[in-house]
């Protein structure tokens, strides 16, 4: 069996719009990708999840809790490359709208933040881990995603 | 099974993240907690002070897969608040955009999330192309999703957060030629949809909820976007009275609220729509799916899958009709009048009733908003369904893995959308 790119697709705080674009890209690219890519973790597609020895982790969403931060660090340590996907992952917005609330609104949501162990501030991925590439857009720009995916297929010697 | 303490941390193959905690003690189901495993993004707060022109595109970011449903409902609320009636062409294009959404979203749920359960596979990615039936449904998956996706792209500029959609109209219009290209693609998936309907009618699972009621927005064309509100107990409610029937149930564990409606537990979604309005489906759909329409009204919650498959056919047939009859004229979005007002948006998103109630200030800024999404309406029903399954099968439950698998199947039958639920609603705390 020829070598495949070991990929994980992960979502944190966001609308998961880039996940939807990703599932739509499968319409045109499934035949090609099934020969070249092993989806080791992608909750939208499968229950089995293997977060180890990944070549590339695609991560959408912003980080809004300590638990999410810890999971992101786990993904980073298990992945040779990590790609931030979509606006929330790249710039922290719009998932991070609460960072900009006025004092009155912050007071209104305070109990929720305390009760469910939210972090003080919503962060973009690069504030926590090294990000090797970014796919901007809300949802992600699909051509930019394909360009980065193809770059890594080449870089990891997948033909 | 005598005792069980099970936590399913990440329910797979649904929109967003959910978890479920089950406790069985001495042969009795003590508790079932279907919980949101998403963190809030506080949209109810974030929309305050935003201009009415910006509101729908911001609200669409509540959810990726339902985004165009949020666009339609939010715009409807804004337009109601400022007394704006959109043109027949805008309404036709909104319906087309929505039919594209229904085809794509239902196909994603049925083919990518549910079909693997029929073939005892974890994922559509494991389907064997050398096995005839699996190959057929693999092809069907991508063909159906693409047809809906492509229609939404032509009408809205993109299938997610459609950029051409705005309050009062569309910022860019498709040409008649661009729309016509979809007639063949839509007609070309009809037989595949009929195959899917047959599959879900003959091979799906059974879980009957005898005392459940159902509710949905319904008009004469089964358009999803307009009409009064119907409940299966016989009551009809004017759309602007909907909010008066909502009864919020504070639930601390999933960081959100469930709802009763009109005093009872009421399911929303495709099953509710088929149960209440199957006679309003497109005539071609009724003719082609006639033998399966006799399944409805149904109290088998797995028939939500069959109902979605039939709705794909209805969306295909209705979209073809609209395209054939639509003449595109060069219309600009209608000008907005910024004035104080209150507006209701009540529509059917793929997963059920979506409700926006917006208060608008004199300068056209959002003063306050209430957004109730379908999965919040189904929250209590999902828990009741899981509980009923466990109680009915308590003697046959022999290991955690099989319970986990069956519970995931039940949750998937409701097609919940956890991204939608995580937008935030005020919570009443129950201190321990």
Q: What is the pLDDT of residues A52-81, one digit of tens each?
A: 999 999 999 999 999 999 999 999 999 999
Question: Is residue A16 included in any domain, yes or no?
Answer: yes
pLDDT score for B397: 79
- Looking at the DSSP bridge assignments, the partners of residue A81 are A56
Residue B193 neighbours by CB under 8 Å, 6+ apart: B144, B309, B312, B313, B316
Given a contact cutoff of 8 angstroms between Cβ atoms, the answer to whether A46 and A113 are in contact is: no
Q: Is B145 within 8 Å of chain A by CB?
A: yes
Q: Is A134 within 8 Å of chain B by CB?
A: no
Domain count, chain A: 1
pLDDT score for B256: 61
Rg of the Cα atoms in chain B: 21
Q: How far apart are CA A13 and CA A84, in angstroms?
A: 13
Higher per-residue pLDDT: B85 or B424: B85
CA distances from A66 to A62, A63, B138, B352 (A): 12, 8, 39, 33
Given a contact cutoff of 8 angstroms between Cβ atoms, the answer to whether B422 and B39 are in contact is: yes
Higher per-residue pLDDT: A143 or B257: A143
Q: Is A35 within 8 Å of chain B by CB?
A: no
Q: Ramachandran region of residue B118, left (φ > 0), alpha (ψ -120 to 50) or beta?
A: alpha
Query: Is it the case that residue A100 has pLDDT exceeding 90?
Result: yes
Nearest residue of B to residue A64, measured between CA atoms: B39
CATH number for A27: 3.40.50.700
Other Cβ atoms within 10 Å of B134 Cβ, number: 19
CB contact under 8 Å between B142 and A112, yes or no, is no
Structure letter (DSSP) for residue B333: P
- In this structure, chain A runs to a length of 159
Average predicted confidence (pLDDT) for chain A: 95
**What's the gap between Cα B414 and its chain centre?**
9
Question: Is residue A142 included in any domain, yes or no?
Answer: yes
Testing the interface with B: which of A11, A14, A20, A117 to mutate, by most B Cβ within 10 A?
A20
Question: Is residue A35 included in any domain, yes or no?
Answer: yes
Domains of chain B: 4-36 (no CATH), 43-421 (1.10.645.10)
Contacts of A20 in chain B (CB under 8 A): 64-65, 108, 159-160
pLDDT score for A1: 64
Q: Is B10 within 8 Å of chain A by CB?
A: yes
Which of B42, B112, B419 lies at the smallest CB-CB distance from A23?
B112
CB contact under 8 Å between A118 and B39, yes or no, is yes
Contacts of B189 in chain A (CB under 8 A): none
Question: Is residue A136 included in any domain, yes or no?
Answer: yes
List all residues of chain A from 78 to 107 with a beta carbon under 8 Å from chain B: 94-95, 97-98, 101, 105
Q: What is the pLDDT of residues B50-71, one digit of tens each?
A: 999 999 999 999 999 999 999 9
Q: How far apart are CA A118 and CA B41, in angstroms?
A: 11
Query: Is it the case that residue B424 has pLDDT exceeding 70?
Result: no
CB contact under 8 Å between B255 and A112, yes or no, is yes
Contacts of B253 in chain A (CB under 8 A): none
Higher per-residue pLDDT: B15 or B110: B110
Q: How far apart are CA B397 and CA B2, in angstroms?
A: 9
Q: How far apart are CA A118 and CA A96, in angstroms?
A: 12
List all residues of chain B from 107 to 126 with a beta carbon under 8 Å from chain A: 108, 112, 122-126
Residue-number span of the structural domain to which A114 is assigned: 5-154
φ, ψ (nearest 5 deg) of residue B348: -105, 115
Q: How far apart are CA B364 and CA B38, in angstroms?
A: 32
CB contact under 8 Å between A15 and B39, yes or no, is no
pLDDT score for B12: 77
Higher per-residue pLDDT: B254 or B246: B246
- Looking at the DSSP bridge assignments, the partners of residue A40 are none
Which of B40, B67, B149 lies at the smallest CB-CB distance from A15?
B67
Q: Is B132 exposed, middle or buried (0-12, 13-18, 19+ CB in 10 A)?
A: exposed
Average predicted confidence (pLDDT) for chain B: 92
Given a contact cutoff of 8 angstroms between Cβ atoms, the answer to whether B168 and B336 are in contact is: yes
Among B176, B132, B169, residue whose Cα is nearest residue B154: B176
Question: Is residue A56 included in any domain, yes or no?
Answer: yes
Q: How far apart are CA A98 and CA B376, in angstroms?
A: 22
Contacts of A19 in chain B (CB under 8 A): 64
Question: Is residue A19 included in any domain, yes or no?
Answer: yes
- Looking at the DSSP bridge assignments, the partners of residue B208 are B300
Given a contact cutoff of 8 angstroms between Cβ atoms, the answer to whether B22 and B35 are in contact is: no
Question: Is residue A159 included in any domain, yes or no?
Answer: no
Contacts of B422 in chain A (CB under 8 A): 13
CB contact under 8 Å between A16 and B43, yes or no, is no
Rounded to two decimals, what is the model's pTM?
0.95
The lowest-confidence range among B3-7, B164-168, B188-192 is B3-7
Q: How far apart are CA B172 and CA A13, in angstroms?
A: 31
Secondary structure percentages of chain B, helix, strand, coil, to 5: 45, 20, 35
Testing the interface with A: which of B64, B151, B405, B426 to mutate, by most A Cβ within 10 A?
B64
Given a contact cutoff of 8 angstroms between Cβ atoms, the answer to whether B351 and B415 are in contact is: yes
Rg of the Cα atoms in chain A: 16
Q: How far apart are CA B161 and CA B156, in angstroms?
A: 8
Can you tell me whether residue B214 is helix, strand or coil?
A: strand
């Amino acid at each position: 069996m020829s070598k495949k790119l070991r990929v994980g697709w992960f979502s944190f705080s966001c609308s998961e719009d880039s996940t939807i674009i990703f599932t739509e890209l499968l319409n045109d690219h499934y035949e090609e990708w099934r020969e070249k890519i092993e989806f080791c973790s992608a909750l939208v597609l499968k229950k089995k999840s293997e977060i180890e020895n990944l070549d590339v982790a695609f991560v959408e969403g912003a980080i809004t809790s300590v638990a999410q931060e810890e999971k992101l660090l786990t993904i980073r340590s298990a992945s040779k490359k990590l790609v931030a996907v979509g606006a929330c992952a790249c710039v922290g917005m719009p998932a991070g709208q609460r960072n900009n609330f006025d004092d009155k609104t912050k007071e209104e949501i305070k109990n929720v933040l305390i009760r469910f162990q939210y972090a003080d501030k919503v962060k973009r991925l690069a504030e926590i881990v090294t990000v090797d590439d970014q796919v901007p857009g809300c949802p992600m720009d699909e051509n930019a995603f394909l360009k980065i995916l193809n770059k890594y297929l080449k870089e990891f010697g997948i033909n | 099974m005598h005792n069980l303490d099970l936590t399913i941390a990440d329910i797979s193959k649904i929109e967003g993240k959910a978890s479920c905690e089950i406790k069985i003690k001495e042969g009795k189901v003590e508790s079932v907690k279907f919980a949101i495993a998403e963190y809030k993004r506080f949209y109810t707060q974030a929309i305050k002070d935003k201009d009415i022109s910006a509101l729908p595109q911001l609200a669409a970011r509540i959810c990726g897969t339902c985004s165009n449903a949020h666009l339609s409902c939010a715009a409807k609320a804004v337009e109601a608040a400022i007394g704006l009636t959109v043109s027949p062409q805008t309404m036709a294009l909104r319906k087309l955009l929505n039919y594209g959404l229904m085809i794509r979203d239902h196909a994603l749920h049925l083919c990518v999330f549910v079909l693997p359960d029929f073939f005892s596979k974890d994922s559509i990615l494991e389907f064997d192309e050398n096995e005839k039936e699996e190959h057929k449904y693999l092809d069907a998956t991508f063909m159906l999703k693409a047809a809906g996706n492509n229609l939404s792209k032509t009408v809205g500029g993109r299938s997610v957060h459609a950029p051409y959609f705005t309050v009062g109209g569309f910022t860019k219009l498709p040409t008649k030629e661009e729309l016509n290209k979809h007639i063949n693609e839509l007609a070309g998936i009809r037989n595949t949809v009929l195959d899917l309907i047959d599959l879900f009618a003959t091979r799906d699972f059974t879980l009957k909820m005898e005392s459940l009621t159902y509710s949905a927005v319904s008009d004469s064309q089964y358009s999803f976007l307009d009409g009064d509100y119907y409940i299966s107990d016989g009551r009809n409610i004017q759309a602007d009275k909907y909010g008066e029937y909502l009864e919020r149930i504070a639930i601390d564990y999933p960081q959100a609220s469930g709802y009763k409606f009109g005093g009872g537990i009421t399911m929303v979604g495709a099953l509710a729509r088929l149960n209440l309005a199957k006679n309003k489906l497109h005539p071609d759909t009724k003719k082609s799916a006639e033998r399966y329409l006799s399944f409805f009204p149904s109290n088998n919650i797995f028939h939500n899958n069959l109902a979605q498959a039939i709705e794909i056919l209805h969306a295909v047939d209705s979209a073809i009709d609209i395209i054939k009859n639509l003449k595109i004229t060069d219309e600009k979005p209608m000008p907005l009048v910024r004035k104080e007002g209150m507006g209701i948006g009540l529509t059917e998103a793929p997963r059920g009733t979506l409700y926006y109630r917006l208060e608008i200030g004199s300068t056209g800024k959002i003063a306050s908003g209430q957004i109730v999404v379908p999965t919040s309406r189904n929250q209590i029903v999902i828990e009741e369904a899981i509980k009923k399954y466990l109680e009915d099968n308590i003697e046959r439950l022999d290991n955690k893995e099989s319970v986990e698998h069956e519970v995931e199947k039940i949750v998937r039958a409701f097609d919940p959308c956890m991204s939608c639920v995580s937008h935030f609603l005020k919570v009443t705390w129950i201190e321990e």
